[in-house]
Amino acid sequence: MIRRFRHKSLEALFRTGSTKGLDPRLAEKLRRMLARLNDGPLPDAMSLPGYRLHRLSGGRRGAWSVWVSGNYRLTFEIEDEDATNVDFEDYH
């Protein structure tokens, strides 16, 4: 289950379907990713070949990342089997 978002537009997409503040070309892919993230179990639910799931290191240790498009990633942390601090970012 998703407990907390860092990205307000991503939260709006998840809760209401609004694409405001997001690239509309990525909206459907993000919806599918958020549904899998919400349904769990984590991190296995996000371990699809096209998602390129991996743990982050360094200052982002403890966070996970999946590929969305280009440099854009959906990042999250896992707390008690729930997703927290879900974000949509270009961290490269």
Taking Cα atoms as reference points, which of 43, 18, 44 lies closest to residue 31? 18
Distance separating alpha carbons of residues 90 and 88, to the nearest angstrom: 7
**pLDDT (tens digit, 9 = 90+) per residue, 17-74?**
999 999 999 999 999 999 999 999 999 999 999 999 999 999 999 999 999 999 999 9
pTM value is 0.94
The span from the CA of 62 to the CA of 69, in Å, is 22
Q: In the chain, what are the domain boundaries?
A: 8-89
The whole-number pLDDT of residue 76 equals: 99
What is the tens place of the pLDDT at every residue in 1-20? 999 999 999 999 999 999 99
Which 3 state secondary structure label does DSSP give 6? Answer: coil
Q: Is pLDDT of 91 > 90? A: no
Residue 56: its pLDDT value, please? 97
Domain 8-89 has CATH 3.30.2310.20: yes
